[in-house]
């Protein structure tokens, strides 16, 4: 049956009609072609192109089939149905691993990335092959980090009154915090310290570390830490302190944080303040405080974190 060669047998259609010895044209249920239809009259196979022809859904016989009930039969193939997935219906599970290659991701074909959301800490892997054939890897997060992106900047607070400035609501998963000290001063010679906060409140013990002070005359003093990270020791009256404090999570299972800072004051006696320390919290860090043993009277402080 040559008319079926190369066609899907699952799409075979069988149809019957009744002749009346006068009608030559009949209607097929679905469109087909002359060579795809086998026509039988009273069980006798008719010759395609000679005894009949097909155009769309119309089959025309050269001679009208004789009168009879269902004495005409057609066996033919339907056009294969190609299902097109509905919009927004293809899920990740339907796509094979590594099935989308670079030919499908040309710049001209990707209009924008408005549907891609990258949160702080997320990474999108980028790959390339260098001249030696080795795969080079980088991440969008790494690029953001190098460019200074990926950090959340807090709301700056003035240090013009009171003895503590509190930052709360630092989200779980934060691994790096910067404390920005901008011209902070007090009305008396006092220490500036950082205390960390978790769900139980401020941690006021268990700090390990040391603060050292260096002056232009090379005189130095050091002070051990226990109740806080001392970022500036014995800051004289009207001295304005500037610099950056870095806090980094070292062990997430035990909530161990490390602190280091370099600060300077430049009003009167020129000095630098150096600090390094460690603190294991009772729970996940969610805030911190800048604390003075005196009263703030100038400057501002802010944080940024990732």
Contact by Cβ (8 Å): 232, 191: yes
Residue 86 domain flag: no
Q: Are residues 214 and 126 in the same domain?
A: no
Tens digit of pLDDT for each residue in 106-143? 555 455 545 555 555 555 555 555 555 554 555 545 55
Residue owning tokens 């919290």: 281
Q: Are residues 12 and 139 in the same domain?
A: no
Full-model pTM: 0.54
Residue 300 has pLDDT above 50, yes or no: yes
Rg (CA), the chain: 41
The stretch 82-95 carries a mean pLDDT of 81
Tens digit of pLDDT for each residue in 183-209? 998 877 788 999 999 999 999 999 999
Domain that holds residue 131: 101-146
Residue owning tokens 């990740």: 92
Q: Are residues 71 and 196 in the same domain?
A: no
What number of helices (H) and strands (E) belong to the chain? Answer: 1, 22
Distance CA 69, CA 63 (A): 17
Three-state secondary-structure class, residue 225: coil
Given this model, what pLDDT does residue 264 score? Answer: 87
Residue 188 domain flag: yes
Q: Are residues 156 and 288 in the same domain?
A: yes
Q: Are residues 169 and 260 in the same domain?
A: yes
Predicted confidence band at 230 (pLDDT cuts at 50, 70, 90)?
Answer: very high
Residue 96 domain flag: no
Tens digit of pLDDT for each residue in 8-45? 445 688 999 999 999 999 999 999 999 999 999 999 99
Residue 137 domain flag: yes
Could you give the number of structural domains in the chain? 3
């Amino acid at each position: 049956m040559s008319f079926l060669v190369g066609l899907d047998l699952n799409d075979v259609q069988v149809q019957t009609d009744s002749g009346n010895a006068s009608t030559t044209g009949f209607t097929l249920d679905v469109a087909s072609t002359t060579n795809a239809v086998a026509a039988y009259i009273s069980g006798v196979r008719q010759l395609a192109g000679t005894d009949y022809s097909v155009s769309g859904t119309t089959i025309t016989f050269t001679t009208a089939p004789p009168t009879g009930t269902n004495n005409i039969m057609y066996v033919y193939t339907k056009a294969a149905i190609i299902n097109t997935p509905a919009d927004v219906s293809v899920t990740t599970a339907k796509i094979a691993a590594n099935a989308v290659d670079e030919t499908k991701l040309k710049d001209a074909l990707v209009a924008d990335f408005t549907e891609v959301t990258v949160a702080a800490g997320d990474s999108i892997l980028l790959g390339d092959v260098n001249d030696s054939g080795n795969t080079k890897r980088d991440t969008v997060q790494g690029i953001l980090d190098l460019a200074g992106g990926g950090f959340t900047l807090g709301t700056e607070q003035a240090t013009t009154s009171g003895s503590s400035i509190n930052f709360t609501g630092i989200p779980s998963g934060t691994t790096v915090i910067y404390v920005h000290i901008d011209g902070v001063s007090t009305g008396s010679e006092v220490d500036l310290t950082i205390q960390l906060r978790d769900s139980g409140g401020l941690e006021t013990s268990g700090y390990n570390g040391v603060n050292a002070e260096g002056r232009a005359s090379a005189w130095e003093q050091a002070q051990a830490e226990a109740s806080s990270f001392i970022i500036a020791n014995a800051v004289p009256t009207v001295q304005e302190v500037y610099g950056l404090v870095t806090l980094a999570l070292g062990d997430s299972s035990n909530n161990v944080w490390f602190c280091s800072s370099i600060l300077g004051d430049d009003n009167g006696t020129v000095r630098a303040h150096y600090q390094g320390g460690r603190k294991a919290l009772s729970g996940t860090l969610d805030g911190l405080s800048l604390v003075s043993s005196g009263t703030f009277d100038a400057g501002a402080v802010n944080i940024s974190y990732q």
